[in-house]
Amino acid sequence: EADIYQTPRYLVIGTGKKITLECSQTMGHDKMYWYQQDPGMELHLIHYSYGVNSTEKGDLSSESTVSRIRTEHFPLTLESARPSHTSQYLCASSVARGPSTDTQYFGPGTRLTVL
């Protein structure tokens, strides 16, 4: 079992609220990722980081922002939540050995519902 944690696990919030989804890992992994997943659909990469002070946008356009001030911590923030943000958000991390051996370890996810 990977040591990667996400909080909260479930969040129901009203439109316009600011939210931060927390993700932390204790494995010392350099790379961290945020994915968005709707029921029955594939995971979409929304943000990733190679290390401290490194953040990049993923393939799926997202209104969220991320920060990487510490190796173990990769929070995702939505400044103003909307119903279209309702989804499951998965955080992952991996060791930067290279793509052929780069297995990602996933957290349990945060199920976000915006009313």
The distance of Cα 41 from the centroid of its chain, to the nearest Å, equals 17
Residue 49 as a binder of other proteins (CB under 8 A): the answer is: no
| Total chain residues near other proteins (CB under 8 A) | 25
Residue 61 as a binder of other proteins (CB under 8 A): the answer is: no
Residue 106 as a binder of other proteins (CB under 8 A): the answer is: yes
Residue 14 as a binder of other proteins (CB under 8 A): the answer is: no
Residue 40 as a binder of other proteins (CB under 8 A): the answer is: yes
Part of the chain binding other proteins (CB under 8 A), chosen from 11-19, 60-68, 71-79, 97-105: 97-105
Pairing of strands 4-7, 10-13: unpaired
CA 93 – CA 28 distance, rounded (Å):
9
